[in-house]
């Protein structure tokens, strides 16, 4: 039986996808849990429209990510910290890096976008920024003593 998923499911797929599932599983498990709708012709048409809209939005989002990646690519940010010699008191983490990027480049990033974690030494460090949808870039993080 063809059904449209109403929520993400590890085994079946993502929300909005049309999948084929055994009749018994649909009747006994998926419909009572309200995880699927039976795929009628009108629901199939709507699901296809939704998929087209989702792909268009994904393309727009990817273009936005690529624009932001170009803005950061090859550039640097500087964070001043308390330090003794080359050793930082505490560490510079993802949230510190995201905040510095927000201040300098006016970009709001998710804290998980920064792949380097807890830098504990003064100097230049290369960091990777992963925007999602396969878009990423590298930039230099300069940690200096106050």
Domains of the chain: 2-54 (3.40.5.10), 71-145 (3.10.430.100)
Q: Is 114 exposed, middle or buried (0-12, 13-18, 19+ CB in 10 A)?
A: buried
pLDDT digits (tens, 9 = 90+) for 113-124: 998 778 999 999
Q: Please give the pLDDT value at position 16.
A: 86
pLDDT beyond 90 at 62:
yes
Q: What is the DSSP letter of 137?
A: E
> Stretch 39-43: mean pLDDT, rounded?
91
Taking the C-alpha atoms of residue 120 and residue 16, their distance in angstroms, rounded to an integer, is: 45
Report the predicted TM-score, pTM, of the whole model to 2 decimal places: 0.73
Output the CA angle 2-7-13, nearest 5 degrees.
60
Q: Could you read off the pLDDT of 92-114 as tens digits, one per residue?
A: 999 999 999 999 999 999 988 99
């Amino acid at each position: 039986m063809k059904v449209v998923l109403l929520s993400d499911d590890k085994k079946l797929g993502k929300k909005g996808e049309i999948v084929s599932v055994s009749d018994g599983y649909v009747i006994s498990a998926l419909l009572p849990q309200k995880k699927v709708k039976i795929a009628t012709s009108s629901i199939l048409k709507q699901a296809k429209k939704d998929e087209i809209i989702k792909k268009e939005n994904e393309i727009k989002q990817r273009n936005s990510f690529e624009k932001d990646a170009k803005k950061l690519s090859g550039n640097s940010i500087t964070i001043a910290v308390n330090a003794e010699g080359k050793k930082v008191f505490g560490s510079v983490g993802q949230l510190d890096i995201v905040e510095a990027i927000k201040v300098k480049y006016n970009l709001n990033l998710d804290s998980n976008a920064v792949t380097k974690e807890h830098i504990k030494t003064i100097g230049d460090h290369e960091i990777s920024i992963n925007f999602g949808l396969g878009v990423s870039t590298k930039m230099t993080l300069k940690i200096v003593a106050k």
